[in-house]
């Protein structure tokens, strides 16, 4: 009986260039007349991997630029053995071994014979089958089809990659807020790492679950607004800060005018420039800012250090009101904090677009 030394690479993965990386090295001695089933049992015993819970895959490469060849049966194993016999170098044709967990509760009693049972040890469901003359055809020797265990034992034992589990796996990707990691990236990574074929919407839900684990619930963040506005008032005495809620106590509007901005209004022209930005978050809304011109005819941004006038207003969606009414009510609620004047005639309450008065004297 001729023996053969085989170099094995295990516990690794195949990268995008069909190279086996991040592996561990080991070696086994096999006989040249070994079949595929005995070879699988030999590898599982040597690597201490349970074949009843894991499925093996054996690959090797002819050269660096070739595609991996997959050993599926005894014929494929004999081809590999002949290649190893023709090579005198131990490092040639290393066998790359990977295994995946399977959700089948069975035990292999002998070669070509399989015995399966229910996940509940007290259940009477059993199946026993064996191969016919070393072929791929199995004959059922014994089968008890009745389950005596509760249905929940069988259903709850099924392992499913839910969006919550996927969110826990990928949550480290969102620790850096600058990193862009969308649903398409999740689908590709989960397929490479775990062999999962995810739908776009499951990956999309997993993304939001991961964001919630890392950054918290957006709904709960609204409860921090009163505390923030209170500290803002304490740090900036003389500021005008207002918080408006709807009937059930939910957030509706917030108005902030810092004291430094109010004091700077004295040296500014009575012209207010209002700009808005849409909030792209879990709860959409509008963020309004206001700025004005100083004596040098320069527009001072609301986000600058030396604010001239500050108007911060956040408008959230209110389902019971039309969009136009929400905007009008939001504008009226903040319009009371200052007076408007026409840039053409200088009179308060006029609009430069429809003003028919004489221009003000310079």
Task: List the domain boundaries for the chain.
Answer: 3-101, 106-155, 163-216, 223-335
Which string of b and e fits 8-24 if b means at least 16 CB within 10 Å? bbbebeeeeeeebeebe
Q: CA-CA distance, 117 to 185, in Å (whole number)?
A: 39
Q: Which of 218, 190, 194, 215 is nearest to 203 (CA)?
A: 190
Structure tokens at 100: 């995946």
Q: Which of 34, 78, 77, 41 is nearest to 56 (CA)?
A: 41
CB-CB contact of 312 with 254 (8 Å): yes
**Whether CATH 2.40.110.10 fits 3-101:** no
pLDDT at 311: 40
Q: CA-CA distance, 166 to 202, in Å (whole number)?
A: 9
What does the pLDDT look like over 19-67, one tens digit per residue?
Answer: 898 899 999 999 988 999 889 999 988 988 877 677 888 999 988 888 8
pLDDT at 9: 92
Mean pLDDT for each consecutive 10-residue tract of the chain (362 residues)? 87 85 90 89 88 82 88 91 86 88 54 75 85 78 87 70 89 88 92 85 92 84 86 89 82 83 74 77 76 64 35 42 51 50 58 60 50
Among all chains, which residue has been given the structure tokens 């999740």? 186
Q: CA-CA distance, 160 to 268, in Å (whole number)?
A: 63
pTM (two decimals): 0.43
pLDDT at 306: 32
How many CB atoms within 10 Å of residue 285?
20
Structure tokens at 23: 């592996």
Q: CA-CA distance, 309 to 127, in Å (whole number)?
A: 80
pLDDT at 288: 79
Q: Angle of helix 183-194 relative to helix 163-170, nearest 10 degrees?
A: 90
Q: CA-CA distance, 172 to 168, in Å (whole number)?
A: 8
């Amino acid at each position: 009986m001729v023996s053969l030394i085989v170099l094995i690479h295990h516990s690794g993965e195949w990268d995008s260039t069909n190279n086996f990386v991040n592996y561990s090295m080991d070696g086994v001695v096999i006989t040249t007349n070994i079949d595929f089933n005995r070879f699988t049992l030999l590898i599982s015993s040597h690597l201490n991997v349970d074949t009843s819970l894991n499925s093996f895959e054996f690959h090797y490469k002819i050269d660096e630029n070739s595609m991996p060849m997959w050993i599926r049966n005894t014929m494929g194993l004999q081809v590999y053995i002949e290649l190893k016999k023709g090579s005198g170098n131990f490092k040639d044709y290393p066998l790359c071994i990977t295994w995946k967990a399977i959700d089948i509760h069975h035990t292999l009693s002998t070669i070509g014979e399989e015995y399966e049972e229910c996940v509940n040890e007290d259940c009477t469901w059993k199946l026993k089958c064996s191969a016919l003359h070393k072929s791929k055809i199995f004959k059922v020797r014994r089968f008890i089809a009745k389950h005596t265990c509760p249905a929940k034992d069988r259903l709850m034992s099924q392992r499913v990659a839910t969006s919550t589990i996927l969110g826990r796996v990928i949550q480290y990707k969102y620790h850096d807020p600058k990193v862009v990691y969308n649903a398409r990236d999740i689908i590709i990574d989960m397929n490479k790492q775990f062999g999962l074929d995810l739908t776009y919407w499951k990956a999309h839900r997993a993304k939001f679950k991961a964001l919630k684990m890392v950054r918290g619930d957006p709904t709960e963040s609204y409860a921090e607004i009163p505390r923030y506005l209170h500290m803002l008032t304490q740090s900036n005495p003389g500021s005008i800060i207002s918080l408006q809620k709807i009937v059930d106590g939910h957030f509706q509007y917030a108005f902030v005018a810092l004291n430094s901005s109010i004091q700077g209004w004295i040296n500014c022209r009575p012209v207010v420039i209002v700009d808005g930005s849409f909030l792209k978050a879990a709860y959409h809304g509008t963020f309004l800012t206001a700025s004005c011109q100083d004596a040098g005819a320069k527009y001072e941004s609301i986000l600058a250090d030396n604010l001239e006038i500050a108007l911060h207003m956040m408008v959230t969606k209110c389902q019971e009101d039309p969009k136009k009414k929400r905007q009008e009510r939001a504008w009226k609620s903040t319009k009371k904090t200052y007076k408007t004047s026409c840039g053409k005639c200088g009179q308060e309450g006029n609009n430069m677009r429809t003003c028919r008065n004489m221009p003000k004297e310079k």
